[in-house]
């Protein structure tokens, strides 16, 4: 009996410890750890302000660049680093070097909307959020969040500048588009919450973006300042909906977009990032957000076009941001903010609150314990078999059948079948996978710039086949709109659509609008992106080995509507 009681006590203690470790970041802000106090009290005014700045880092630009970032960190003692392109081993080494010269541990962050593969070579890229928007099984997305958290932590990172909570209700959006879960605010809120919780439950700080909503713009804020001319009521009920829901569900961070929004702040040319009525008035006061408020990159044209020479940094702090990422010149910014405090433009008490939030985030993420990223085995560590298997599961769950359920079911494996890939120069994974179900098949390939002669040769030859299966492939690194197929190739697709052909589109679904005729095809499968795992899933549908369950996350009018999928 005593032995059993001992084990019960041990079990209860283990459960209590596990629950204590799972304390949410927002809860920790209410009762900040002693470590936060001890570090905060050692910082002078300049060092406190420096905690609010995160610097850019790359590991694909040579050792000289890596060393230059280390010098900035050593001199300025900034709060964090945001890594961009590079490789896992190089980044791990740079992380160790940067942490070594920081008296207060750095938050190491990355834009990982689809995991490490968004920025780093030799790592896993999970499907884009548009692809995930088609998935009906939320558990898969939660598991993805957990795997991404494992990857980040293995790399010595504590914050993911993701997920994207924008509602992409503008088909021409050049900057969000496939990065969004789709056009339906409920679907976007649900999927964003699931991905966010997976990461946060895995011990990763997350950052919803881009508040108050960047989905209905046709200007890229990297290059200019977009303007949202909608009413405050429309913005509140639509664009802000996912953010409002996820604030209730414990979001740890929110990123502010660079957009001019007259209905919320009528100051001419003022980006939302620099707007106190938007950042403090709406996000913090009205919506009650208590977590980390992070600016979008402060070197983007959308913010520095009208506010030059460091004034954007000062206004970013005035507005209520806790963290400014990628200032054009953080040393200049810190000096200007100290001056603004002396002038009474910025209240030092507000800076103190932000710094305490940042330090609490560091404690929550485990940075109170000095640690070194182990570089040995790191590539294998972020390329786990379980992660790769999950990628294929996600693809299988997303693939969407828009037309031809019965027609595809009745395709005959022994009939002469032409399997064509369009938009690529060589035979594809899709063709090889489809041919496993069609024993009498021949491959044809038409590149995106195929000549009239090449097109007519293929058109003539496939006339002798009983069945035609076509993959249309976006060859670009990112699945934007306006798939690059020349006029002759597009016309060939249109002609094929009027015949007994089944199509699979490996591009973002908005491209259906630029490929007229597909709405009349005998069968149409949407694969959302070009990667092999999507080609495997689409082929499995055509081979009747996978029952498709994906639903279209956006509308492509007039032929296809949100939520369609057979």
Question: Considering only CA atoms, which of 420, 423, 439 is closest in space to residue 431?
Answer: 420
pLDDT attached to residue 459 = 95
Domains and their CATH numbers in the chain: 36-373 (3.20.20.300), 399-542 (3.40.50.1700)
pLDDT attached to residue 18 = 41
Tell me what the mean pLDDT of segment 127-146 comes to.
98
d(CA 529, CA 527): 6
- What is the 3-state composition of the chain as percent helix, strand, coil, each rounded to the nearest 5? 45, 15, 40
Tell me what the mean pLDDT of segment 435-460 comes to.
96
φ/ψ of residue 200, rounded to 5: -65, -40
- Of the pLDDT bands very low, low, confident and very high (cuts 50, 70, 90), residue 544 is very high
pLDDT attached to residue 175 = 86
pLDDT attached to residue 19 = 41
pLDDT attached to residue 20 = 42
pLDDT attached to residue 271 = 95
Strands (E), 396-485: 400-403, 417-422, 441-446, 467-473
pLDDT attached to residue 174 = 82
pLDDT attached to residue 225 = 87
pLDDT score of 369 more than 70: yes
pLDDT attached to residue 8 = 43
The per-residue pLDDT of the chain, averaged, comes to 94
φ/ψ of residue 490, rounded to 5: -60, -40
Dihedral (C-alpha) 290, 81, 480, 564: value to the nearest 10 degrees? -40
In Å, how far are 174, 188, 516, 540 from 484, measured between CA atoms?
15, 28, 15, 26
pLDDT score of 104 more than 60: yes
d(CA 72, CA 63): 14
**82 bridge partner residues:** 56, 109
pLDDT attached to residue 198 = 98
**Please, are residues 222 and 299 in contact by the beta-carbon 8 Å criterion?**
no
pLDDT score of 1 more than 90: no
d(CA 479, CA 493): 19
pLDDT attached to residue 12 = 44
Helices (H), 22-80: 25-30, 34-40, 45-50, 63-76
pLDDT score of 370 more than 90: no
Which pTM was predicted?
Answer: 0.94
Within a 10 A sphere around the Cβ of 296, how many other Cβ atoms? 27
Please tell me the least confidently modeled range out of 300-304, 314-318, 557-561: 300-304
pLDDT score of 5 more than 80: no
pLDDT score of 69 more than 60: yes
pLDDT attached to residue 167 = 96
Tell me the per-residue pLDDT of 211-236, one tens digit each, with 9 for 90 and over. Answer: 999 988 877 778 788 888 999 999 99
Tell me what the mean pLDDT of segment 69-86 comes to.
98
- Of the pLDDT bands very low, low, confident and very high (cuts 50, 70, 90), residue 36 is very high
pLDDT score of 324 more than 50: yes
pLDDT attached to residue 208 = 98
d(CA 494, CA 468): 14
Tell me the per-residue pLDDT of 386-415, one tens digit each, with 9 for 90 and over. Answer: 999 999 999 999 999 999 999 999 999 999
Tell me the per-residue pLDDT of 140-184, one tens digit each, with 9 for 90 and over. Answer: 999 999 999 999 999 999 999 999 999 999 888 888 999 999 999
Residue that is written with structure tokens 């950052």 in the block:
207
pLDDT attached to residue 219 = 76
Please tell me the least confidently modeled range out of 12-26, 438-452, 520-534: 12-26
DSSP 304-354: HTTSTTTHHHHHHHHHT-SBEES-S-HHHHHHHHHHHHHTTSS-HHHHHHH
Percent of the chain with pLDDT over 90: 89
**Please, are residues 378 and 89 in contact by the beta-carbon 8 Å criterion?**
yes
């Amino acid at each position: 009996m005593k032995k059993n009681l001992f084990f019960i006590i041990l079990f209860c203690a283990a459960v209590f410890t596990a629950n204590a470790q799972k304390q949410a970041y927002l809860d920790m802000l209410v009762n900040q750890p002693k470590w936060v106090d001890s570090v905060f009290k050692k910082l002078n005014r300049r060092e406190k302000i420096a905690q609010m700045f995160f610097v850019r880092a790359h590991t694909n630009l040579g050792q000289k660049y890596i060393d230059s970032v280390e010098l900035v960190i050593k001199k300025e003692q900034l709060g964090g680093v945001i890594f961009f392109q590079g490789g896992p081993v190089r980044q791990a080494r740079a992380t160790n070097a940067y942490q070594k010269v920081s008296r207060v541990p750095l938050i190491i962050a990355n834009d990982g909307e689809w995991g490490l593969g968004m920025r780093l070579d030799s790592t896993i890229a999970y499907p884009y959020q548009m692809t995930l928007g088609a998935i009906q099984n939320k558990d898969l997305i939660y598991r993805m969040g957990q795997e991404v958290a494992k990857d980040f932590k293995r790399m010595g990172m504590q914050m993911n500048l993701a997920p994207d909570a924008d509602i992409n209700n503008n088909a021409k959006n050049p900057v969000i588009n496939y990065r969004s879960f789709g056009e339906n605010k409920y679907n976007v809120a649900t999927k964003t919450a699931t991905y966010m919780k997976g990461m946060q439950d895995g011990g990763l700080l997350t950052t919803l973006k881009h508040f108050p909503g960047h989905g209905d713009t046709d200007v890229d804020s990297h290059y200019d300042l977009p303007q949202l001319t909608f009413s405050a009521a429309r913005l509140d009920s639509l664009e802000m909906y996912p953010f409002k829901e996820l604030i209730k569900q414990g979001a740890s961070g929110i990123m502010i977009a660079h957009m001019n929004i007259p209905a919320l702040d009528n100051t001419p040319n003022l980006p939302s990032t620099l707007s106190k009525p938007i950042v403090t008035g709406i996000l913090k006061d009205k919506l009650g957000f208590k977590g980390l408020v992070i600016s979008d990159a402060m070197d983007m044209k959308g913010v520095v076009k009208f506010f030059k020479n460091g004034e954007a940094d000062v206004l970013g702090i005035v507005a209520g941001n806790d963290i400014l990422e990628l200032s054009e010149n953080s040393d200049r910014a810190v000096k200007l903010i100290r001056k603004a405090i002396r002038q009474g433009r910025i209240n030092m008490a507000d800076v103190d609150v932000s710094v305490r939030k940042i330090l609490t985030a560091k404690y929550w993420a485990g940075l109170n314990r000095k640690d070194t990223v182990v570089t040995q085995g790191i590539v294998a560590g972020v390329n786990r078999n379980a992660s790769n298997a999950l990628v294929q599961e996600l693809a299988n769950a997303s693939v969407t059948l828009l037309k031809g359920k019965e027609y595809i079911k009745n395709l005959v494996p022994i009939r002469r079948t032409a399997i064509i890939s369009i938009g690529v120069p060589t035979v594809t994974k899709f063709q090889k996978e489809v041919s496993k179900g069609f024993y009498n098949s021949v491959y044809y390939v038409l590149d995106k710039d195929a000549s009239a002669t090449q097109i007519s040769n293929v058109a003539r030859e496939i006339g002798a086949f009983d069945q035609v299966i076509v993959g249309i492939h976006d060859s670009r690194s990112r699945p934007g709109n306006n798939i690059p197929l020349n006029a002759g190739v597009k016309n060939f697709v249109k002609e094929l659509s009027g015949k007994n052909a089944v199509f699979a589109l490996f591009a973002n679904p908005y491209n259906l609008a630029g490929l007229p005729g597909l709405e009349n095809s005998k069968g149409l499968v949407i694969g959302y992106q070009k990667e092999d795992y999507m080609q495997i899933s689409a082929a499995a549908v055509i081979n009747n080995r996978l029952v498709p369950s994906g639903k279209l996350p956006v509308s492509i009018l007039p032929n296809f509507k949100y939520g369609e999928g057979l």
